[in-house]
Structure 1
């Protein structure tokens, strides 16, 4: 099983505490230095008086997008350092229970959410064209596309390796069950988005969407015994979203094809994905990869196999 992979590594509780401190410093301190330096260069000391939403509007859209995603790239490097040297674990074992990473699963997860996002956006654009502005500008869009293709997968991989990989395995081996890491990582993942501009605009009800998304990705990981589907799904969701539609009140305002100018509402738009769309995604994955034994995979115990030893090579 995927969580059981952690028993090949060093799993003392203090290692996870130290590891999280290292990752946080890499992500939120060292990773943020270029972004903060650019803000000071552009706006001077007054930047300290700005809200987070206002900070996102100081720089050129593409530069802002790149520097924000750079913080996650630095965080990912710090996380891989922690996994490799603090826990003595193979990156492969933090990714999947299979003999090697299954990239077919990654692209399947990427494709289903990408196709869904494009199709639903086209339908909504044709039904309610007054809600959109044509925002396409060739040169800025091509620069955005180049940045997004490289940086968005790094951003989403950081979040997946941190929550569905590192913490899912760590909490699982310490708690000796699967439901607790699923719940904790999903709630923390959702809580991480609490400072997003979307929360300021729509209110705290949108946290149900973020936490629900955390549960979706966590269920994918536990049922499929690996991160590949979640890695692909998360990357597809964020990449297509960044290239296709932007709005003035989102975390990433980009030079996308369309701009949503409608007044957002917090209601069915938030609940429908959780209660209808997400179960459909899980159904498609379950049929494709023949998932079974749901109760055991989501609520079963985690036992340390006696035959597993500390990993000697990475």
Structure 2
């Protein structure tokens, strides 16, 4: 039977799968077998539902056979395809690994909302600098050269409201899958945090597709820094904050121009100028988070789980019951004399 292997002073985030002592080598495989088919099934159901609604409403068909619901609705649907992984991965951990789903959030077993708020504040400056850099970057020549048309205030605000609902869930879902589940699955076998961080970073970059070399390197660096921050701060809050604001910026910029949300470009397609700027912003954010963490000291390790108390051992040889004398009994009382035996005075006189 496999038992927990505790760290010297507690369990780091990447070792949380071993904290309860229920880890077995086959549990991550069972989680994968439960998670992936369930996700694909839900995607098919969502696709079929959207197709039925779109066809009934008279929306045109896309070249791939789907229904064109419009740029904003299509974007919301794409975000939902990713967002549904969040409850699925939490259920997979709870059912197959027999541990609280909150252990994916942090070493405290829950999402630390106060620390999340500090991380969001820390991400405001880097993301703002990235927005300014995006505006000031020269054209890489991929566009037609014509200025993008503004969509209008009403359409822009409606898009922002929809994105504000779906983007945070989508960003959090990616963090729970890559920085949460994959890091802890690798950390269950590998004590070194870097060996637990490396696989998820490569898978995270690959999941966005292969666009440009610089775009892939940018995503790989993000995965490495995000995984390192997750272990250093003991939870997903720091990476959820940066990922959410970064995606809101990217989708917000696309929503500001006509047909911007219709583009198929992802972060993997970033030109080298934007990729370098984004990598610098990620490193800046990591520096800020480390300084904030020194002041607010988020919990980095989970204490060991106390073993359950041992059941009481039955007494096979009970002692005879002895009735103590009443507390009000005089000090000269002799129990032997009371029950017919010689009194203490008689015993002393017989000795003489």
- Comparing 120-129 with 21-30, which one deviates more in the overlay? 120-129
Cα distance change on mapping 1:279 and 1:89 into 2, 3 Å: same
Counterpart of 1:222 (choices 216, 231, 240) is 231
> Comparing 229-238 with 144-153, which one deviates more in the overlay?
144-153
Structure 1 residues 209, 92: closer, same or farther in 2, change over 3 A?
same
Aligned residue for 1:103? 113
- 2: CA distance, partners of 1:47 / 1:37: 16
Confirm or deny that 1:188 pairs with 2:197.
no
Under a length normalisation based on structure 2, what TM-score does the superposition of the two structures give? 0.67
Does structure 1 residue 47 correspond to structure 2 residue 64?
Answer: yes
Gaps of 5+ in 1: 49-54, 292-296
CA distance in 1, matches of 2:247, 2:193: 27
Partner residue in 2 for 1:140? 155
Which residue is equivalent to 1:52? none
Name the residue aligned to 1:178.
193
What is the deviation of 1:173? Answer: 1.3
Question: Are 1:281 and 2:296 an aligned pair?
Answer: no
- 2:100 aligned counterpart, secondary structure: coil
CA–CA distance in structure 2, aligned partners of residues 28 and 247 of structure 1: 32
Matches within 5 A, 1:26-175: 26-35=38-47, 38=50, 41=55, 42=59, 47-48=64-65, 58-98=68-108, 100-122=110-132, 125=135, 133=148, 135-175=150-190
Asked which structure has the greater RCO (Cα within 8 Å, sep 6+), the reply is: 1
**Whole-angstrom distance in 2 between the partners of 1:89 and 1:307:** 12
Is the counterpart of residue 207 in structure 1 residue 216 in structure 2? yes
Which whole-Å deviations, capped at 9, do the CAs of 1:77-116 have from their partners, x for residues lacking one?
Answer: 2111111222122232211113653223323333343443
Q: Which has the larger radius of gyration?
A: 2
1:242 aligns with 2:259: no
Decide whether aligned partners of structure 1 residues 178 and 135 sit closer, same or farther in structure 2, where only a CA change above 3 A counts: same
* Runs of at least 5 residues in structure 2 that lack an aligned partner in the other structure: 1-11, 140-144, 309-352
Q: TM-score, normalised by structure 1?
A: 0.74
Q: Shift of the alpha carbon at 1:226?
A: 1.1
Q: Structure 1 stretch 159-168 or stretch 126-135: which is displaced more?
A: 126-135
CA contact (8 A) 2:82 2:170 kept: yes
Distance 1:242 1:124 in 2: 13
Larger relative helix fraction: 1
Give the conservation status (yes or no) of the 8 Å contact 1:3–1:169.
Answer: yes
Q: Distance in 2 between matches of 1:229 and 1:209?
A: 18
1:113-166 per-residue CA deviation (whole Å, 9 max, x = no partner) reads 344333443465468698863534344333322322221121111111111111
2:32 is aligned to: 20
Question: Structure 1 residues 89 and 6 mapped into 2: Cα distance closer, same or farther (>3 Å)?
Answer: same
The correspondence for 1:3, drawn from 14, 24, 39, is 14
User: Contact between 1:125 and 1:132, CA under 8 Å: does it hold in 2?
Assistant: no
Q: Distance in 1 between matches of 2:129 and 2:38?
A: 38
Of 117-126 and 142-151, the range deviating more from structure 2: 117-126
